Amino acid sequence: MIPYGFRQYQQQSDHHVLLACVAILFSAVIHMILMYFFSDWALSGVRSLRDRGREWFEGERVPPMRVETMRADPMQIAEKVPGERDTPSRGPIEASERVDALSQPAGPALTVPPPIPREALAPGVPSLKESEIRQIDSTPWMPRQEIAQIYDRTVQDEVATLPRREIPMIERVPKAPDIVPSIDLVGRRFGKDPEPPKPIKAADVFDTVISKGTFKVPAAGESGTPSQVPASATEARFAMKPGEKGGKSGSATGKPDGAKLTEDQQELLKKQLEAAAKEAEGKGAALGEEERKALEAQAKVAALQESVDYVPIDDLLAVGLETYRDPDEPGRIYFRIGIQPRSDKPVPAIAKDIVLVQDVSASMSEERMVFCRKALGAALETLNPADRFNVVAFRDTYAYCFPGWTQVTEENKQKAAAFVADMRAFGQTDVFGSLRSLMKLPRDPKRPMIAFVVTDGKPTFGVTESAKIIGEFSKLNTGLLSVNMYGTQSKANVYLLDMLTYCNRGSSTVLSGNRWDIPSSMARAYESIRYPVMSDIAVTFDSVSKSEVYPKSTTNLYKDRQLQLYGVCPDPTEELVFQIRGLAADKGYDSIFRLSLTRHAKLGAAAVKQRWALQKMYHLVGAYSRDAQQQLFAEMLKVNRQYGVPIPYESELK
C-alpha cells in the first residue's frame, strides 16, 4: 500500500507541472501577439544599448540604402536638355539652373565705383595716384650667343672634310657563345693524325671519379684521346724568357715586366692609396700598415694581369663533368666540373711564398702540440728549393721566425726547426689578429702567397665572433693570400675553418682520427698545396648557358689537386663554355673549354645538388659578413628552406 502522505505529495507535484505548462503556453501566445502588433516599436534605452554593441563589434553603423528613381542623366547634370520640362522632379538639375541664375552679369550699381567726395581732393589731402600702364615687350626672342660658343675644341674642323666610311652592322648569330674556345675539345685532335677521326667517348676523355677524390686521365694514344702535342711546341711555350721576342725587357711580346709598375700604374696606385686614406680619415680611423700593404699588392697583381703575355694551355688540362637531374625538380641540371693538370703532359710548377702558422694557445693542449711540432718539422723538409717561407706562432699575440720572406736554405730550415721546437701551448687565441698580421708580408705578384694555418678554430681573444672574423679579413685580403687551414681535432670549429678558407681562395681539412694521426694527416693536407701551377684564377662562364656557378673566387690550381666548380643551369642547355685565366710566374695561362652535357657528362648522385647548395650558402654568408644587406639574408633563408642547408652563424648575422 502507498502511504497517504506520499500520495498527496505526488498529486500536488502533478498539479504544479500542469500549471507550469499552461503558463509557458500562455506566455508564448502573448509574445506572439505583441510581436505582431508592436513590431515597429523600440525602447530607447534598449535601442541605445543595441546600437552601442553593434558599433563595438561591427564599427560605425552604415545607414540603410534608399532607392530613388533617377529622372536625369547624372553625366549631364550641368546641361539642360532641350525641350525638357522644368519640373521639380528633375532633381539635381535644379541646382544647375540656380547656379546659372546667380551667375548672370552684375548691374552697374555693383560694378561702377562711387563718386569721389570733394573733400578728398582738398589741398593737404593726398590725391589718388595715377595707375601705371604696363608696357608689353614686343622684342622677339633671340638665343644667347655665348651658349653656342665652343671653348674646348677637341676635334679640328678639318675632320669634317674627311671622307666618310660606313661600317656595316653585324647581326649577332642566334645562340652564339660569348666565349670562343681556342681549342675545340669536341671536334679537333692535336698533333699528326693520319687516320680519320673517331667518335670521342665521354668515358675516355672526361673520366672523373670525384666522389673518391681521384682524377683519372687516359694515357696518350688511347681511343678518343687527344694525341701528343709535338715536344718542340710544348717546350717552346714554357722556355720563353723575358725579352726573347723583340723586347728589351719584360714578356715575350716586349711588354713591360708585370712586377714593375709603369708610371701610369704607379699613379693609379697613388690615387688608390689617397682615396683609401681619405675614406679612413672620414671614418675617424688611420690607414694601417695592413691596409696599405694590401692596396699595394692589389695594384701590382692588377698590373701584372694587364701586361702579362697569356699562353693557352687547353691541351695540358684534363676536365671532368658530372651532372645530376633531380626528379622532384624538373627543368634544372646540377653539375660538377673537375679541372687538373694532365699527368702525361705536366704543367711546370711555379715558385711560391708559404707561411706556416701554428696555434700555440692553451686550447691546443701540450698533448697535441707534440704531434703538431713533429708535423711542422716534416713540412719544413719538404719545401721546394725555389720557394720562400716563414713560420708564425700565435696565441693572444704572435711571433715571426723571420722578419719577412726567407730563402729555403739548410741554415734557414734549421732556424725554423728550432723556432718550432720552442713552441708551447698556453694563453688565449686571437685568430683574427694573427691572420691580419700576415698582410704585412709583401706580395710578389709572380708568386702565389699561401698560408697554412694549424688551429682548433676557437677564438677566445680579440675579435671572437666568427662571422665578423670572416667578413673583416676577407674584405682586407680580397683573395691576395690563399688561406688553407688544418683542424687539429674533430671538435674544431668546422664552419669557421670552411668559411674562412672558402672566402679566401683556400680549403680546410679537419682531423678525423686521434692526435697521434696529426703528422700523417697534416702531411697529406700540406702535400696537396706543395706544387702550384697557376694563381689568381678567374673563371668566366658563357651567358648562353645561364649557369650559376660557385665558388666565385676559386683556389689556386695545383699539380696534384683538383679545382672543383659546382653549378646549375636550365635543362634545355646543351653545352657549357667557360674560360680559366690565371698567373704563372712571369706569364699567364688561358684555357677555354666547351663541354657537352649529353656526350661528355657522367651521371652523378644527389650529392652534386647538395654540394652546390652548400657552396651557394657559403657565398651568401661571406657576402653578408662583408656587407650586411637584407636581400642577402633573405636569399640565405630561401636556400635554407629549399635545400635544407643550415645557415652558419645565424645568431651572429642577425
Phi, psi of 551 (to 5 degrees): -80, 155
Predicted pLDDT of residue 138: 61
Rounded Cα distance, 510 and 496, in Å = 11
Under the banding of pLDDT at 50, 70 and 90, the label for residue 224 is: very low
Of 34-48, 317-331, 369-383, 544-558, the range with the lowest mean pLDDT is 34-48
- The residue-averaged pLDDT of 472-479 equals 91
Rounded Cα gap, residues 299 and 445, in angstroms: 9
- The answer to whether the beta carbons of residues 618 and 624 sit under 8 Å apart is no
What's residue 165's pLDDT?
Answer: 61
Which cell goes with 291?
Answer: 691596409
Whose cell is 705578384? That residue is: 445
- 216, with CB counted inside 10 A (0-12, 13-18, 19+), is middle
Average pLDDT on 500-517 reads 91
**Dihedral of CA 420/423/425/431: which sign?**
negative
Is residue 387 within 8 A of residue 354, CB to CB? The reply is yes
Kindly provide the residue ranges of all beta strands, DSSP E only, lying in 159-209, ordered along the sequence. 208-209
pLDDT-based confidence at 589, cuts 50/70/90? Answer: very high
The arithmetic mean of pLDDT across residues 325-329, rounded, is: 92
**Higher pLDDT among residues 41 and 303, named by residue:** 303
Closest CA to 407 of 357, 358, 351: 351
Dump the DSSP string for 519-574: HHHHHHHHHTTSSEEEEEEEEEE-GGGT-EEE-SS---EETTB-EEEEEEEETT--
Using left for φ > 0, alpha for ψ between -120 and 50, and beta otherwise, residue 2 falls in beta
Lowest-pLDDT choice from 93-102, 174-183, 318-327, 420-429: 93-102
At residue 377, the pLDDT reads 94
Which range in 66-80, 169-183, 283-297, 447-461 is most confidently predicted, on average pLDDT? 447-461
Mean pLDDT of the 435-444 span: 93
- Answer whether residue 259 shows pLDDT above 80: no
Buried b (16+ CB within 10 A) or exposed e, 155-174: eeeeeeeeeeeeeeeeeeee
Q: Which residues are CB-contacts of 368 (< 8 A; sequence separation ≥ 6)?
A: 425, 488, 489, 515, 518
**723571420: which residue's cell?**
402
Nearest Cα to Cα of residue 300 among 504, 446, 483, 474: 446
Residue range 268-280: mean pLDDT, rounded: 58
Q: Which of 191-200, 230-239, 377-386, 614-623 has the lowest mean pLDDT?
A: 230-239
Q: Which three cell numbers stand for residue 625?
A: 659578413
Does the pLDDT of residue 24 top 50, yes or no?
A: yes
Has residue 393 got a pLDDT over 90?
Answer: yes
Going from N- to C-terminal start, the domains of the chain cover 256-307, 315-653
The CATH superfamily label for domain 315-653 reads von Willebrand factor, type A domain (3.40.50.410)
For residue 21, what is the enclosing H or E element? helix 4-37
C-alpha 393/C-alpha 561 separation (Å) is 28
Residue 312 · residue 591 · CB < 8 Å: yes
Rounded CA separation 220/469 (Å): 47
CA 190 to CA 183: how far, in whole Å?
9
Say whether pLDDT at 366 is over 70: yes
- The C-alpha cell that represents 4 in the structure block: 497517504
Beta bridge partners of 185: none
Region 38-50 average pLDDT? 55
111's grid cell: 560694378
Q: Which three cell numbers stand for residue 445?
A: 705578384
Please give the Cα distance from 432 to 487 (Å, whole number): 16
- pLDDT tops 60 at residue 234: no
- Report pLDDT for 27: 85
Whether the predicted pLDDT of 408 surpasses 60? yes
Residue 23 — pLDDT band, cuts 50, 70, 90? confident
Residue 531 clears pLDDT 50, i.e. is over it:
yes
Q: How far apart are CA 267 and CA 274, in angstroms?
A: 11
**Cα–Cα distance for residue pair 542/208, rounded to 1 Å:** 23
Task: Answer yes or no: are the C-beta atoms of 416 and 464 closer than 8 Å.
Answer: no
DSSP, residue by residue, 59-93: -SPPPPP------S-GGGTTSPPTT----GGGTTH
Can you tell me the mean pLDDT for 541-554?
A: 91
Distance CA 464, CA 357 (A): 19
Percentage of residues of the chain with pLDDT beyond 90: 41
Is the entire prediction scored with pTM above 0.85? Answer: no
Length of the chain measured in residues: 654
Per-residue pLDDT, averaged over 302-313, amounts to 88
SS3 227: coil
Q: DSSP of 610-637, one letter per residue?
A: HHHHHHHHHHHHHHHHHS--HHHHHHHH
Task: Work out the mean pLDDT of the chain and round it to a whole number.
Answer: 74
CA pair distance 440, 296, nearest whole angstrom = 11
Which pLDDT does position 222 carry in this prediction? 35
How confident is the model over 52-78, as pLDDT tens digits? 555 554 555 555 555 555 555 555 544
Task: Provide the β-strand partners of residue 550.
Answer: 566
Predicted pLDDT at 309: 87
Q: Is the pLDDT of residue 134 over 70?
A: no
Position 581 pLDDT exceeds 80: yes
3-class SS at 334?
strand
Burial class of residue 10 in the structure, from the number of CB atoms within 10 Å of its CB (0-12 exposed, 13-18 middle, 19+ buried):
exposed
CB-CB contact of 260 with 254 (8 Å):
no
Residue 558 near residue 536 (C-beta atoms within 8 A): no
Helix, strand, or coil here: 202? helix
Q: Is the confidence at residue 435, as pLDDT, over 90?
A: yes
- The greatest distance separating any two alpha carbons of the chain, rounded to the nearest whole angstrom, comes to 145
Mean pLDDT of 263-290: 59
